[in-house]
């Protein structure tokens, strides 16, 4: 018999995503983004995101079904991000999932957004070798997770104690006048710069910090250091070397992320590292992770960039694993939980 056909709905932040998978095979990944509507604010505005989801959800659903050449009746289960994320944004996806589930008499699975970021890798590289370590780096999260069994949740090893990695990219891009979102533009700008030209701080890597924060991150000190460095240049009437600042900042972030991720693998006897979240699209992060992992026989799995950022396919991918594992569906009164734990 065919493997189950699972539809996934993602609305936790500024992307309305609806994906359809069969087993590990991606059939459709329809996306509508409100990112342009937030650009002039320099960050995601929750009310604007919620309204955009409301407008986009039905047409995006239609596009996903058309792309996969299926109808709602063909779907075996509907998965939806029920947290963590922006409360009003999550609510649109959860309400839509319930509506479709009720209308078409389908089981519904509320899933964790972070676990979905890990699960999406299976669409690209097949079943995940477990245990694995996952590093999720996005605009909202920077976490190291231990994955013993994806269908049974994930265990946090560490997380940022202040700004998320993507947030640091966005804030630094803003103070450099490079625009929003910051990650892609810093990535591009850094290509022309020297990553060793400015020694920016590596947060929580000093021996005294490692004792309590071995697998935690801190990026707000780095952001402040970049701001001070730029201010000093401007005070001296010197031009700001955007490429060198971008490259040196990016190097500081990627150095800490990859060092701690590899250490987490070694400490836990794990030989697979999955990287997900929007920052996983960073070109330097990918190269440095590969380089350092290779020295310890660790395999790095990074899905293609379009699957790293928020999308519906990741939710469908996790839903597909849950259905395959025989996990019971959620109740139809499933709440949206903006602060959902792992």
**Residues near Zn ion (CB under 5 A):** 138, 310
Classified as helix, coil or strand, 6 is: strand
Alpha-carbon gap, residue 116 to 111, rounded angstroms:
7
Nearer to ligand KG4, 13 or 90 (CB): 13
Candidates 18, 225, 281, 322; binder of ligand KG4 (CB under 6 A) is 281
Candidates 29, 121, 263, 310; binder of ligand KG4 (CB under 6 A) is 310
Nearer to ligand KG4, 186 or 264 (CB): 186
The strand order across the sheet containing 299-301 reads 155-159, 142-147, 132-137, 272-276, 299-301
Nearer to ligand KG4, 60 or 65 (CB): 60
Nearer to Zn ion, 29 or 310 (CB): 310
DSSP string, 210-263: HHHHTT-B--HHHHHHHHHHHHHHHHTTPPP-HHHHHHHHHHHHHHHHHHHHHH
Q: Is 269 annotated in some ligand binding site?
A: no
CA distances to 19, 68, 150, 152, 329 from 326, rounded to whole Å, are 21, 24, 13, 11, 9
Using rule CB under 6 A, residue 170 touches ligand KG4:
yes
3-state DSSP helix/strand/coil percent for the chain, to nearest 5? 50, 20, 35
Dihedral sign from CA coordinates of 63, 66, 72, 77: negative
Using rule CB under 6 A, residue 30 touches ligand KG4:
no
Nearer to Zn ion, 45 or 104 (CB): 45
Nearer to ligand KG4, 26 or 31 (CB): 31
Q: Is 326 annotated in some ligand binding site?
A: no
Partner interacting with residue 282 (select from Zn ion, ligand KG4, none; CB below 5-8 Å by kind): ligand KG4
Candidates 110, 140, 203, 329; binder of ligand KG4 (CB under 6 A) is 140
Closest CB 77 distance from Zn ion, rounded Å = 22
Q: Which 65-84 positions form the footprint of ligand KG4 (CB under 6 A)?
A: none
- Give 144's strand partners: 135, 158
Alpha-carbon gap, residue 153 to 146, rounded angstroms:
9
Show the tokens assigned to 72: 């709602």
Candidates 278, 312, 319, 329; binder of ligand KG4 (CB under 6 A) is 278
Partner interacting with residue 29 (select from Zn ion, ligand KG4, none; CB below 5-8 Å by kind): none
Q: By the 8 A CB rule, do 19 and 29 touch?
A: yes
Classified as helix, coil or strand, 323 is: helix
Binding site, annotated residues for substrate: 136-140, 170, 183, 187, 282
Binding site, annotated residues: 113, 117, 136-140, 170, 183, 187, 282, 310
Binding site residues, ligand KG4, CB under 6 A: 13, 138-140, 166, 169-170, 181-184, 187, 277-279, 281-282, 309-310
């Amino acid at each position: 018999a065919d493997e189950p056909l699972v539809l996934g709905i993602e609305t936790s932040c500024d992307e309305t995503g609806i994906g359809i998978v069969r087993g590990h095979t991606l059939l459709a990944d329809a996306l509508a983004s409100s990112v342009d509507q937030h650009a002039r604010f320099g960050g995601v505005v929750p009310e604007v995101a919620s309204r955009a989801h409301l407008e986009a959800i039905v047409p995006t659903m239609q596009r996903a079904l058309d792309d996969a050449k299926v109808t709602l009746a063909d779907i075996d289960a509907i998965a939806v991000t029920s947290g963590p994320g922006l409360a009003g944004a999550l609510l649109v996806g959860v309400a839509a999932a319930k509506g479709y589930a009720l209308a078409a008499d389908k089981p519904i699975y509320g899933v964790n957004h972070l676990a979905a970021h890990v699960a999406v890798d299976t669409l690209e590289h097949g079943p995940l070798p477990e245990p694995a370590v996952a590093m999720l780096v996005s605009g909202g999260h920077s976490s190291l997770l231990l994955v013993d069994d994806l269908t049974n949740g994930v265990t946090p090893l560490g997380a940022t104690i202040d700004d998320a990695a993507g947030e640091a990219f966005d804030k630094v891009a803003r103070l450099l006048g490079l625009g929003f979102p910051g990650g892609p533009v810093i990535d591009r700008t850094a290509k022309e710069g020297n990553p060793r030209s400015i020694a920016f701080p590596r947060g929580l890597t000093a021996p005294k910090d490692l004792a309590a924060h071995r697998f935690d991150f801190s990026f707000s000190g780095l952001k402040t250091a970049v701001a001070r460095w730029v201010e000093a240049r401007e005070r001296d009437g010197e031009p700001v070397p955007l490429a060198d600042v971008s490259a040196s900042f990016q190097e500081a972030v990627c150095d800490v992320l990859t060092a701690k991720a590899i250490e987490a693998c070694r400490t836990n006897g794990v030989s697979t590292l999955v990287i997900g979240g929007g920052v996983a699209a960073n070109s330097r992060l990918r190269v440095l992770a590969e380089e350092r992992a290779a020295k310890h026989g660790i395999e790095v799995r990074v899905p293609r960039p379009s699957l790293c950022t928020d999308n519906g396919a990741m939710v469908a991918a996790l839903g597909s694993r849950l259905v395959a594992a025989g996990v019971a569906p959620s109740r139809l009164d499933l709440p949206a939980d903006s602060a959902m734990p792992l």
